[in-house]
Amino acid sequence: MKNVVFISRILISALFLLSAVAKLYPTPLYGITKVFEEGQLIPMGFSTEIAPFFSRLIIGFEFFIAFAILQSHYIKKLIIPSTILLLAVFSIDLSLDIFVGNEENCGCFGQLIPMTPSQALIKNIFTLLILFFLYKNVHDRKNSNFLLLFNGFLIITVLMFSLLPIATNSSNKQISSFSNYVIPEFNINDGKKVLCFFDAGCEHCMDAAKSLTDLSLLNTDFPEVHIIFSDTEEGKIPEFLEYSGSNFSYQVMEFYNPDDDINSYLEVLGFEYENPVIIYFNNGNQMRFYDGTTNNEYNPEDFKRLFN
């Protein structure tokens, strides 16, 4: 029985460690914002302002559980029950996704291991069964030290927020990772800027560009806009600009090139994206990342509130 308990604790530890690391793939900022926050937390009902805080707390808690499950301080009174509660909340959300027929990647393991809500729910059920087994077969250490656990969680949480700072509407300038791919004339790290990734033949992209043009005509302090077009429909760019009525600066980027020395449209966006992509920056701080035509699509009213 001791061996079974030990192996079960190792499995739970490895599972939560993998879950935390996977949510930071392929890059920490991309994984935590586009995949976890926009793909899972915001659809659950978290606002765009609150989601960045909860994403870091949840991933930090997963790192904490990966280590805490291997020790005996309050493991039965605190660690296992709180872990069961976390899984129960996400299992309820997964059940709702299954009920409405959503079979997209739930984001539980980010893009590293894409899982449908059905697959993730099965994984959660097996994890809960192991946790209930552990609850019955482990015991808290005598003279358990709560301060030790709290300090461990605090250190991990501080590291999450310090290594992955939340962008704020401040005057503190940051160097955006996108600045490596944008023409020098468009200084994305200076002031309020909007960077768009469009296909010239995409109707949704055309409508989004027209909306940006209309907003720019109504606001004298509207952020400067720059468009990166893929070269898949480069010949349609004049028609695109005429329809949108815009005179935004733009550049054309090769859609994909296997040569590691050449930046491509697909690689810059992380290989998984849905057009249109509209990103709002303030002094290099990424304030909002819109993409696609579903739950994270560009919303003019939401966008106005951001830059106002």
What integer pLDDT is reported at residue 258 of this predicted model? 62
What integer pLDDT is reported at residue 174 of this predicted model? 62
What integer pLDDT is reported at residue 168 of this predicted model? 54
CATH code, 184 = 3.40.30.10
Residues 123 and 198 placed together within one structural domain of the fold? no
Considering only CA atoms, which of 87, 90, 68 is closest in space to residue 148?
A: 68
pTM of the model: 0.63
Q: What is the mean pLDDT of each run of 10 residues along the chain (308 residues)?
A: 93 96 82 79 80 92 96 95 95 91 84 90 96 95 92 94 71 67 84 90 93 90 90 90 90 73 66 79 84 82 78
168 located within any domain:
no
What integer pLDDT is reported at residue 162 of this predicted model? 86
User: Which structural domain range is residue 188 located in?
Assistant: 177-307
Residues 60 and 200 placed together within one structural domain of the fold? no
Tell me which of 163, 187, 214 is where a domain ends.
163
What integer pLDDT is reported at residue 72 of this predicted model? 94
What integer pLDDT is reported at residue 167 of this predicted model? 61
Task: Give the CA distances from residue 186 to residues 115, 170, 282, 306, in Å, rounded to whole numbers and listed in that order.
Answer: 38, 20, 13, 21
What integer pLDDT is reported at residue 131 of this predicted model? 97
Considering its fold, how many domains does the chain have in total? Answer: 2
What integer pLDDT is reported at residue 281 of this predicted model? 87
**CB-CB contact of 199 with 232 (8 Å):** yes
